[in-house]
Chains A and B, each alone.
Chain A
Amino acid sequence: MSVRPKLILSAAAIAAMLTALVAFAMPAKPEAAPAQQAAATPKKESDSTADHSKFKELQKNFKTGPEVTEACLICHTEAAKQVQHTKHWTWESKDPKTGQVRGKKNIINNYCTAVLSNEKDCMACHAGYGWKDSSFDFSVQKNVDCLVCHDNTGTYRKLPGNAGHPVYKRREFPPKSGKFVEAVDLKRAAQSIGMPTRTNCGACHFFGGGANGAKHGDMDSSLQHPGKYLDVHMNEKGLNFTCTECHATKSHEVSGSRYNTSAAMTGPAHIRGKADASPAACQSCHGDKPHSTKHALLNQHTDKLACQTCHIPEFARNDIGTELSWDWSKATIMGPDGKRMVRKDSAGRRSFDSQKGQWKWESYVIPEYRWFNGTSTYKVIGDKIDPTKTVQLSVVGGGPNDPESRIWPTKVHRGKQPYDVENNYLTVQHTGGEDATALWHNYDWQKAIGTGMKAANLPYSGKFAFVDTELTWPITHMVAPKEDALSCAQCHSKNGRLKDIQGIYMPARDGKHWLDVIGWSLALLTLIGVLVHGAIRIYSSKKEG
């Protein structure tokens, strides 16, 4: 045989073997119809009965945001009062079950840590104007920012450093970047108002923690124009939901806050407009038995599993990714030249900054699963900690015996941040600004903590160290198509997704050794019985024949 036929035979053999292996190795998949792209949804015509560009109150060349609000309030007389009762204004929330007062104003997290003493920067995401320190008057109606939620031009920008005011003068941002943000045309914005779009909500909620996708993991700018794979509800060429389709709003109170999550809704789907406020939960539309009778077994899971557990198999499903850790102990480490050092990771995301420390990012993150009953307990400023353990900045409540609890997917953000070693509480630090004590300006922890603790009205011993912290968030956005939901075996296996969930018996994950022994013994005895019986039958038929 010549070399060539041998080679061809070898190649053919390998190809056949590989084909067979692949065929056997791949789980059988139901035949799927070719993906059909829904026709692009045309931009909706406004169905408003009012054209705000024709209102004489809005024909002015507004100089400031409060001037615009005053014009809005001429017609919308109750709007500011309503907003002033919401968390978007107060940044405060009281837990109805525990009475704990939380909210952005009071909690301490392991991203930017705390608002106090950093108001001028943080208030870029406040629905108001002028909150620069504790003297802010929460009763002044003209300080409510209508445009941040209702501007439909997409040009309204609020930047750190302006205490919640929009950009009035062209400004270089980030500083020394060579990029400029144009001044907002307030007249145009005021004349173009409408219901909140993804751009309005996303301006803050996509960029929390100081970078695109950093904070939440299930919310980032990819939801601006999402495909079906990323979110079946927001899919731009499909249902094309805006945020407010689910986050139904009443008197400016937006449903679905993570401070009071609807973690375990039961019963059929809600009817919009009923007095129950149609909570921002899957069940509001789908009911608690959402699967067809063909998949009725899945409906038996809804008393233990949140819909999100199966239907959000991973979050941050894009190249943007999300931040998994923030190590503040690396802040103030300067470059070899003694100057600020900035580094990015392989995907181009921030990974180190002398001002802020070190970050770790990831895309397509597999959630960590927890029992959750909708109530989280937060560390608020001044709460005592045990520095010998990892400090839990938010603990999701619930457990296997709590009927209000379901197993939820969560993002756990890990951090290292300063605490007062004598008073044993996490410190508040003054980070932003150009003043002499701002950490990002002078790289001096002592001064930054001193100013922060003064603003928090808490004693500071003068000694600090760094402690490990964890912050747990329930995941609820980026719902995948049903075909991409978790399969049974992804949980029902020894090392499956729910391997660490305690308190329930899960077939294929849990087992009792003695029960397995009995079962296998019975199977073995049955096999022996069949073989013996067969052998006797063969033997006797031969003997007779």
Chain B
Amino acid sequence: MFKVIGGFFLGLIVVGVLAYTYAGSLMFREIESPFGVEETVARIQQNIQGVGNGWALSGLRNPGKAVEAAGGNTLPVMMVEACSTKYSGPILKDDSVRFLSILMPCKVSVYKKNDGKTYIGMMNAGLMGKMFGPMVGDVMGEVAKDQEKFVKFDPSKPAPEMIKGMPGAATGGAGGGAAGGC
């Protein structure tokens, strides 16, 4: 009996340690970009505009600007915000999952680290969606497929211009959503 209970608790501890170690990397993804911060942002914006499925840019936020305004420094961070009513609509219409609006608009974060390289951070929409029932799972699965296209770059194409003229652009303040249909 002692062995069974001991084994059970040992299993719990192992699962807990594994969850603690890997949960973050499962929920979120980080990939290295071959371009600088601005070019990565611009290429993601271009991809979002070209991916279809109702995706539209809804903001470009620079949280680092708020830190600078307060007198501090941070390496550059820019958040590209995008939304698709095709995906947001069903979730926003359902009272039981409307709280997931907290995840909207869809964000892709582009930032530089101390190694001087540029990285892209994204939510693992597919995995997270599965936790909230079949409808959300299906929607988020589709979002995850499109997210992959957001960060697929064609280096042979010239660098596009970063689109700043959107609500919330690079202000560090509230991002707008009107342009993105959310």
Contacts and interface: CB of A to CB of B under 8 A. Distances in A.
Contacts of B41: 346
Interface string A471-490: 00000000011011000001
Contact of B159 (A35, A346, A366): A346
B73 A484 contact: yes
Contacts of B156: none
A7 interface: yes
A239 interface: no
Nearest to A230: B68
B24 interface: yes
Contact of A346 (B38, B76, B128): B38
Nearest to B96: A4
A495 B115 contact: yes
A9 to B, nearest CB: 10
A229 B23 contact: no
Contact of B24 (A21, A229, A366, A484): A21
Contact of B27 (A10, A18, A230, A364): A18
A209 interface: no
B68 A10 contact: no
Contacts of B159: 345-346, 351
A361 B35 CA distance: 11
B36 A362 contact: yes
Contacts of A313: 73
Interface in B149-163: 158-162
B73 A343 contact: no
A10 B132 contact: yes
A3 B76 contact: no
Given A21-B20, A345-B159, A363-B76, A35 B133 contact: no
Given A25-B24, A497-B114, A347 B73 contact: no
A347 B76 contact: no
Contacts of B72: 35, 229, 481, 483-484
Contact of A7 (B39, B115, B132): B132
Question: Which of A10, A346, A366 has the most chain B CB within a 10 Å cutoff?
Answer: A346
A490 B114 contact: yes
A480 B73 contact: yes
Contacts of A362: 36
B178 interface: no
A407 B71 CA distance: 27
A3 B95 CA distance: 12
Nearest to A365: B116
A413 interface: no
Interface residues of B, number: 37
Contacts of B158: 343
A346 B39 contact: yes
B96 A7 contact: yes
A313 B76 CA distance: 13
B75 A364 contact: yes
A347 B23 contact: no
Contact of B133 (A7, A21, A230, A347): A7
Interface residues of A, number: 41
A17 interface: yes
Nearest to A20: B20
B33 to A, nearest CB: 12
A441 interface: no
B122 interface: no
B71 A227 contact: yes
A140 to B, nearest CB: 47
B4 interface: no
Nearest to B73: A484
Contacts of B162: 346-348
A228 B91 CA distance: 44
A267 B170 CA distance: 45
Contacts of B96: 3-4, 7
Contacts of A346: 36, 38-39, 41-43, 159-162
A228 B68 CA distance: 8
A364 B118 CA distance: 11
A14 interface: yes
A120 to B, nearest CB: 34
Contacts of B37: 363-364
A531 to B, nearest CB: 20
A421 B6 CA distance: 79
A85 interface: no
A216 to B, nearest CB: 19
A314 B75 contact: yes
B174 interface: no
Interface in A253-309: none
A366 B38 contact: no
A495 B116 CA distance: 12
Nearest to A235: B71
A414 interface: no
Interface in A11-61: 11, 14, 17-18, 20-21, 24-25, 35, 37
Nearest to B76: A364
B70 interface: yes
Contact of A345 (B38, B69, B76, B112): B38
A490 B115 CA distance: 10
A225 interface: no
A363 B162 CA distance: 14
Nearest to A8: B99
A323 to B, nearest CB: 13
Report the 6 A-B pairs with minimum CB-CB distance, sorted nearest first: A346-B42, A228-B71, A347-B38, A35-B70, A484-B73, A346-B38
Interface of A: 3-4, 7, 10-11, 14, 17-18, 20-21, 24-25, 35, 37, 227-230, 313-314, 317, 343-348, 351, 361-366, 480-481, 483-484, 490, 495, 497
Given A7-B96, A484-B73, 17 more contacts: A7-B132, A18-B27, A24-B20, A35-B71, A227-B71, A230-B68, A344-B161, A346-B42, A346-B160, A346-B161, A346-B162, A347-B38, A347-B39, A348-B162, A351-B159, A363-B76, A481-B71
